[in-house]
Amino acid sequence: MPAVTAVVTGGASGLGAVIARRLHADGHAVAIADVDGEGARDLAAALDPATARGHTADVTDRAALVGLLESVRAEFGPVQVLVNNAARTRATPLLEIGPEELEEVMAVNFTGTFHACQIFGQHMAEQGYGRIVNMASLAGQNGGTATGGHYASSKGAIMSATKVFARELAARGVTVNAVSPGPQDSPTVRAIVGERNLEAFQRAIPVGRLGDPAFVADAVALLASPAAHSVTGACWDINGGLHMR
């Protein structure tokens, strides 16, 4: 079996699939976890059934995350890399967000990420090595523009949690970082913005264009590498200049 095993949540489609493909291309054994279990298994089969497996997993269910870790360990051995990518994106106007929708978005985006960091972080700490990469968002830094306030709030919480876990796990060989993409050239962004508004939307981005999901995957892969041992508690911005520190 390959020496490095990676788990990607929300990996059946979109950015998660791009990340899963990149990590697999780098030689990782990849476990693709998604509520769309069929989609996850289809992607794994397309990559290589010997070194990629798809799993049905709902990150809002802590027990499901524990079961995911156990399943991956049985298939590939210890897990060294976790990418917390699973997310719910909603663009509901702020004052129209109801309690159920708020809970749904926070449960997937923040609570699921927090629980996965706990469960996989403990496993990695016991090994003395690990790389956790959380997917944050520009929305969590600037309050959001095209996305809803609950989405922005959840992503801001992820950035805080990244620092908390980074501090806790650093001495045990586990780094925890975040990648914060701005608007990417993806079906989700195009659907939220609308094709007829896309040109004007891009003009508002300082670099004048949408981001490339493949580059985001490159950043994730770099943070997931052994060479990234001196980077922890960081948030790498990939937003075309929409937010500058």
Instruction: Collapse the DSSP code of 58 into the 3-class scheme (helix H, G, I; strand E, B; otherwise coil) and give the result.
Output: coil
Q: Of 76, 114, 151, 165, which is the active-site residue?
A: 151
Predicted TM-score (pTM) of the model is 0.96
Q: Please tell me the distance from the alpha carbon of residue 92 to that of residue 85, in angstroms, as a whole number.
A: 21
The CATH class of 5-238 is alpha beta
Buried b (16+ CB within 10 A) or exposed e, 3-39: ebbbbbbbbbbbbbbbbbbbbbebebbbbbbbbbbeb
Helices (H), the chain: 14-25, 37-47, 62-76, 99-106, 112-127, 139-142, 149-169, 187-193, 198-203, 213-223
Instruction: Tell me the pLDDT of the chain (245 aa) as tens digits.
Output: 456 999 999 999 999 999 999 999 999 999 999 999 999 999 999 999 999 999 999 999 999 999 999 999 999 999 999 999 999 988 899 999 999 999 999 999 999 999 999 999 999 999 999 999 999 999 999 998 778 999 999 999 999 999 999 999 999 999 999 999 999 998 888 888 888 999 999 999 999 999 999 999 999 999 999 999 999 999 999 999 999 98
Parse the chain into domains and list their residue ranges: 5-238
* 151 tagged catalytic: yes
